[in-house]
Structure 1
Amino acid sequence: MVVIGGGLVGASLAIALEDSGLDVAMVEAAPAAAMPAVFDERNLSFAEATIHALTALGVMQRLRAPTGAITRIHASRRGDFGRVLLEAADYGRAAFGQVVVARDFGEALESRLAGVAGLVRHRGARFTGFGLDDNGHRVLELAGDGPSRLRARLVVAADGMHSGVREALGITATRHDYGQVLMLARLRAARAPDGTAYERLGDDGPTALLPRGDRAWGLVHGVATADAAAVQALDDAGFLARVQDAFGWRIGRLLSVGPRSAYPAVAMRADDTIAPRAVLVGNAAQSIHPVGAQGFNLGLRDAMTLAESLSACARGDGDPGDPALLAAYAARRREDRSRTLDFSDGLARLTANPGRGASLLRSAGLVALAALPGLQASVVGGAMGYRGDVPDACRAEAVR
């Protein structure tokens, strides 16, 4: 089988398949001397289920930078009354999750990948198209270093939101542009992180501050697309003043900010996640608004569920591209995928709606969530990665 894409989800899948008994190859656009662009300075919020899986895979142990524990979640919206404060201790947890710098995570994945027995990596190679051989197996056309063709009984598309594999398979997708650009940066404030992850919502999107492990805060600041160029052009003092106005003074004065990057907030949902001898995972299958921090966590659960299904198939000397296996995988992922996508999209749309009716609805929702433990437990369970059919690797038992 061949995994197209060596980013967060593709690399995690390749590691998870190490002991499956399958012959696995990975096609990576980045050359051997470079890291994929996704491994930059952005901050990743790992849910508890994700931490379990990455620990079982031997990746978390290879992180060199300290992680930031999320022990408390504080959510509010500018202009609305009510707030939600969730404490991990109330749910018998030391933390809801951990904040990890993407570059450090990429280096840990690379270190782990280097030791995966039997994995064949085609680096500096790019997928260009498909064919079929006489057995009905996929023939991949590649450009760049290495072979120009690979044959596979199963192709896994882990090549991101603009997936060339998805397009070649003829799988359509629904997109939604939220009209926001998300500014990401590392900043310092008068108060160092204390384990609280803040989500301050507004008309132009969220302003989130995540507790990093280096005593700095990881910022996500949403701005209207029409204002993005002007905000990017602000000097550090002007940018900090804007964020301070949007977020408030909960952590005191914002003191300094590092380099900024910007990403448009666009959601994509593939209309199918499987095709003959092919499956989509991670951002190739769905990309979601980062409010709620569920994107990578959802994609990793794709990878862990697929690895579990393929490993069971290989033990029985089965065909990894068997239509029944792929249909069963898609069925296992359906509930988690649908509920997570709908929750993220609904939250992003509702929280950015400036209308009075939406404000009253949001305020009532915040009050209800703060007052009803059962509702809180449902939201917390989903945020920690426990929706639908949870793969075994994501459970605490996997790391005991």
Structure 2
Amino acid sequence: METGHDVVIVGGGLVGASLAIALDRIGLDVGLVEATPPGTLPAVFDERNLSFAEATVNALQALGVMDRLRAPTGAITRIHASRRGDFGRVLLAAADYGREAFGRVVVARDFGEALEARLGELQRLTRYRPARFIGLGEGEGDGDGGARAIRIADDGGEHELRARLLVAADGTRSGVRDALGIGADSHDYLQTLFVARLRAARAPDGTAYERLGADGPTALLPRGDRHYGLVHGVARNEADAVQALDDAAFLERIQRAFGWRAGRFVSVGARSAYPVIRTVARETVAPRAALVGNAAQTLHPIGAQGFNLGLRDALTLAELVETRGGDPGAPELLAEHVRRRRGDRERTLAMSDGLARLTANDAPLLRPLRSLGLLALDRLPSAQAQLVGGAMGYRGDVPALCRRASS
């Protein structure tokens, strides 16, 4: 049997679920293909900590998601960045820019539950779960009546969906991207990030710390439960040994890497480990198809821009569908989506990759240059303003939902 939708989204994670909510808001018939069964969250909604830029908070408030968070969020009122072995640091305060906070820290699992609650309220959404994308059907469609044929499999066998627009939100190893014939370039940073909840003797005061080093960042994000969200980068060949450390030895390692600016670390929760590999699709659209989120680009997490960038992908697409009306998969609409996303995407990719490579390079000649750069950035208001704008999600042609807190 064949079922038709205006839009079919493959992937029900952070970006895919958010896009489904945004498209339902404007009255579209949406199909969401999800790998997990009802009552189970995708694996991405674990205990890791997400740093939502102000623009992201605005958009998720407008979409009715922030109000459904059950756990308290942590306000990022200051940002402190430095590099181990270099002098100088950058200290930014939201109050200096007329803001209460640069953004909020949200636990991924709580965000997943809030998205699930909001998805359950949608009247036009059809959820296919558990189901998996297995390929494209014959033809790609053209003209006003054109549609993509999408083949999925579930417990009942194989089915075909048709959509005027297919959206790949199925992550870094995107099966939809492969089926569309879109290549991707990858770079392995040979780093592994450990993520955990950490408690210090002093409760967080709103400062988000990023301590850079040769093997990646050690970041502390102020959660809303008087703990920090820890991100700790290690060289890939040391990851197994670090994972095997008991809690006391792991805390000692973090204290050495980070220093004492946040006080003494007293406990740490369960650790998860993730390899850091940059993957960038060579194209972000195909006939009647678009890539968003990690399917379009997976960044180094330095600067915490990955989800924020992916959400802006999704919301720009939804905004174009709303303002242009008619055919959501029209070639002109998809071309405009590429144009509008180009600046933000390219600048964010360049910032993330450049910062990751520069700060990981331990060459002695680079140390004084990095230190001078940190000192200059800390003292030049124009450079700080540009950095702050990007950190808050206002880079390039920003979707309207990102600029206001309510619809």
Q: TM-score, normalised by structure 1?
A: 0.97
Partner Cα distance (1:60, 1:20) in 2: 19
- Secondary structure of the residue aligned to 1:191 is coil
Q: Deviations over 1:14-52 (max 9, x none)?
A: 000113232111000111121100000000000000000
| 2:406 counterpart letter in structure 1 | V
Q: Is the 8 A contact 2:196 2:270 kept in 1?
A: yes
Partner Cα distance (2:341, 2:365) in 1: 35
Partner Cα distance (2:222, 2:377) in 1: 23
Corresponding residue number in structure 1 for 2:23:
17
| 1:33 counterpart letter in structure 2 | G
- Secondary structure of the residue aligned to 1:182 is strand
Matched, 1:272 2:283: yes
Residue 357 of structure 1: CA displacement? Answer: 2.0
Partner Cα distance (1:382, 1:135) in 2: 38
Q: Deviations over 1:279-304 (max 9, x none)?
A: 00000000001110000000000111
Residue 343 of structure 1: CA displacement? Answer: 0.3
Q: How does 1:215-226 map to 2 (within 5 A)?
A: 215-226=226-237
Distance 1:322 1:191, change over 3 A: same
| 1:56 counterpart letter in structure 2 | A
Q: Deviations over 1:255-307 (max 9, x none)?
A: 01000000011111100000011000000000001110000000000111011
Counterpart of 2:154 (choices 144, 147, 150) is: 144
Counterpart of 1:161 (choices 153, 172, 175) is: 172
Q: Where in structure 1 do 4 or more consecutive aligned residues deviate above 6 Å? A: none
Distance 1:283 1:134, change over 3 A: closer
Corresponding residue number in structure 2 for 1:79:
85
Residue 359 of structure 1: CA displacement? Answer: 1.2
| 2:154 counterpart letter in structure 1 | G
Counterpart of 1:37 (choices 33, 39, 43) is: 43
- Secondary structure of the residue aligned to 2:137 is strand
Matched, 1:336 2:341: no
Q: Is the 8 A contact 2:140 2:288 kept in 1?
A: no
Residue 225 of structure 1: CA displacement? Answer: 0.2
Distance 1:134 1:364, change over 3 A: closer
Corresponding residue number in structure 1 for 2:262:
251
- Secondary structure of the residue aligned to 1:18 is helix
Matched, 1:66 2:66: no
Partner Cα distance (1:40, 1:346) in 2: 28
| 1:206 counterpart letter in structure 2 | P
More displaced stretch, 233-242 vs 146-155: 146-155
* Gaps in structure 2 of 5+ consecutive residues: 1-6
Corresponding residue number in structure 2 for 1:97:
103
Counterpart of 1:106 (choices 112, 115, 127) is: 112
Partner Cα distance (2:117, 2:386) in 1: 36
| 1:79 counterpart letter in structure 2 | G
Partner Cα distance (1:323, 1:101) in 2: 38
- Secondary structure of the residue aligned to 1:65 is coil
| 1:387 counterpart letter in structure 2 | R
Q: Is the 8 A contact 1:123 1:145 kept in 2?
A: no
Corresponding residue number in structure 1 for 2:186:
175
Q: Is the 8 A contact 1:6 1:28 kept in 2?
A: yes
Q: Is the 8 A contact 2:44 2:108 kept in 1?
A: yes
Q: Deviations over 1:180-219 (max 9, x none)?
A: 0000000111111000000001111100000000000100
Counterpart of 2:202 (choices 165, 171, 191) is: 191
| 2:149 counterpart letter in structure 1 | V
Partner Cα distance (2:87, 2:254) in 1: 20
Q: Is the 8 A contact 2:167 2:289 kept in 1?
A: yes
| 2:153 counterpart letter in structure 1 | A
Partner Cα distance (1:37, 1:196) in 2: 28
Matched, 1:391 2:399: yes
Partner Cα distance (1:12, 1:19) in 2: 11
Structural RMSD (CA): 1.1
Partner Cα distance (2:88, 2:121) in 1: 50
Q: Is the 8 A contact 1:138 1:155 kept in 2?
A: yes
Q: How does 1:227-246 map to 2 (within 5 A)?
A: 227-246=238-257
* Gaps in structure 1 of 5+ consecutive residues: none
- Secondary structure of the residue aligned to 1:356 is coil
| 2:378 counterpart letter in structure 1 | A
Partner Cα distance (1:264, 1:63) in 2: 28
Matched, 1:304 2:285: no
| 1:145 counterpart letter in structure 2 | D
Q: Is the 8 A contact 1:133 1:139 kept in 2?
A: yes
Partner Cα distance (1:191, 1:99) in 2: 18
Counterpart of 2:59 (choices 53, 58, 75) is: 53
Q: Deviations over 1:364-391 (max 9, x none)?
A: 1100101101100000000100011010
More displaced stretch, 359-368 vs 48-57: 359-368
Partner Cα distance (1:300, 1:373) in 2: 28
Partner Cα distance (2:141, 2:178) in 1: 23
Counterpart of 1:204 (choices 206, 211, 215) is: 215
Residue 133 of structure 1: CA displacement? Answer: 5.2
Q: Is the 8 A contact 2:34 2:127 kept in 1?
A: yes
| 1:228 counterpart letter in structure 2 | A
Partner Cα distance (1:80, 1:371) in 2: 17
- Secondary structure of the residue aligned to 2:85 is coil
Matched, 1:125 2:135: no
Q: Deviations over 1:293-341 (max 9, x none)?
A: 0000000001110110111233xxx211111110001100000000001
- Secondary structure of the residue aligned to 1:79 is coil
The share of aligned pairs that are identical, in percent, is: 70
Residue 132 of structure 1: CA displacement? Answer: 2.8
Corresponding residue number in structure 2 for 1:327:
335
